[in-house]
Amino acid sequence: MAAREGSLEAPTRHPVDWRNPEYYDEAKAFAELERIFDICHGCRRCVSLCGAFPTLFDLVDESKSGEVDGVAKADYWKVVDHCYLCDLCYMTKCPYVPPHEWNLDFPHTMLRAKAIKFRSGGVSRRDSLLAATDVHGKLAGIPVVVQAANAINHTRPARAALEKLMHVDRNAWLPDLATRKFRSGADESQQFAVKDGARTPGKVAVFATCYINYNEPGIGHDLLAVLRHNEIPYELVHKEKCCGMPKLEIGDLESVNRAKEANIPVLAKYAREGYAILSAVPSCTLMFKQELPLMYPDEADVQAVKEAMWDPFEYLAARQRDGLLKTDFSQPLGKVSYHVPCHGRVQNIGRKTEELLKLIPQTSVQTVERCSGHAGTYGVKKHGHEMAMKIGKPLFRKMADHPQGGLPDYISSDCPLGGHHIEQGFERNQLGEPQLAHPLTLLRKAYGLS
């Protein structure tokens, strides 16, 4: 029976067999890479997604045979290094994902290769340090240290030195450290009554995330303000570590495991007590919704956290359908160009942020589903920044051209890092200077909350 073209069923994900010694067998991994690369070479519909696919196709086209068997195995790493695990090829482009018989999972095959590279010592200490968000975060909130670190961030000679030392591109936007951490400055919840809906728990546990806690606490305060306005009682998760996504991106699965061992027992308690767990960074939310459940398919606590984890707008939109969300918006936002980040799309929740923003009177929302190119540490590294800007250029141009005419009043993305990358893309391409605001910030503005 001939193989079918494409798969008619919804894509399914197989568990990541990362504890099996064969997972780290380079010869077997490269055999799978060759099989997958050969299918991708014959299809090529993912060529516009990221740098991995053009790199692969150039290697094939420039080989003596013009086929994958003509590509040197050592050059496979060039493809792997351009994959930042956005998952869009799997979720939006590839017709051969499971349950199709060809069983093609490009991102998780790249993850396997990254894990082999990390275990064999192929990942530099600087890349490991760049992914150690909790280490960086320890500096936040220390006045003199924060001032010095932020000054370095905005000084050209210091950025040139940082580029030489850490391979962080001198032109890439980097976040400042917060003068006060979100977790230490967050207001406690008022004693609201718990109102469960048909779709939503009536109480929330907030997983702060490294980025919100150490870099942009204002986004976390915006979330709490929206919850208070809607009389939803909340708690900050009493103890947390990095979700593990930055370590996953470099194949450091043992560090991912250590983060999981710290976070899951704490979060599982909230899940079992009936809390909705909210995380305001899509990559962190996805880590608990998809990556950890696939790494630990048989652990009940991991699966319980998966079921309790919500994107904030997914939760608020469901709350609105339950008839329990206030829509007393008093401040119009005008023209908004909103970007759906890759790790938001992969959650398969639909356009929930757009759904909420469109409830605001005198607000016109343009939604753009295209990769910004930032992709965590990839977009700030010397080898990835210019490629990240190139990948994002069609998105920048689309967001600059609002359907209501001219520039938008606001540009926005659920991914805070992606939002700043888009803002830099506007500046780099001379597209204008609309105001950047996170969707939670926009919602707080629309409610008229100080």
Share of the chain above pLDDT 70, in %: 98
Range from 139-143, 244-248, 389-393, 445-449 carrying the lowest mean pLDDT: 139-143
From the centroid of its chain, how far is CA 4?
A: 33
Mean of pLDDT values over 108-117: 97
Q: What is the pLDDT of residue 3?
A: 56
Average pLDDT over all residues of the chain: 94
Q: What is the pLDDT of residue 145?
A: 85
Q: CA 182, CA 214: separation in Å to the nearest integer?
A: 7
Q: CA 402, CA 412: separation in Å to the nearest integer?
A: 13
10 confidence band (pLDDT: 50, 70, 90): confident
**Residue 2 pLDDT greater than 70, yes or no:** no
376 confidence band (pLDDT: 50, 70, 90): confident
Q: Helices (DSSP H) in 296-400: which residue ranges?
A: 300-308, 312-321, 342-345, 352-357, 385-400
Range from 7-11, 145-149, 305-309, 363-367 carrying the lowest mean pLDDT: 7-11
Backbone angles phi and psi of 65, in degrees to 5: -90, -20
Q: CA 65, CA 196: separation in Å to the nearest integer?
A: 63
Question: Locate tokens 């976070």: which residue?
Answer: 263
Q: What is the pLDDT of residue 249?
A: 94
| Backbone CA torsion sign across 85, 86, 91, 93 | negative
Q: What is the pTM of this model?
A: 0.94
Q: Which residues of 204-224 are buried (b: 16+ CB within 10 A; e: fewer)?
A: bbbbbbbbbbbbbbbbbbbbb
In the DSSP assignment, the letter for residue 367 is: E
Q: CA 53, CA 82: separation in Å to the nearest integer?
A: 8
Q: What is the pLDDT of residue 1?
A: 44
pLDDT digits (tens, 9 = 90+) for 265-302: 999 999 999 999 999 999 999 999 999 999 999 999 99
pLDDT digits (tens, 9 = 90+) for 219-229: 999 999 999 99
Q: Helices (DSSP H) in 338-384: which residue ranges?
A: 342-345, 352-357
Q: What is the pLDDT of residue 72?
A: 95
**Residue 108 pLDDT greater than 60, yes or no:** yes
Q: What is the pLDDT of residue 4?
A: 59
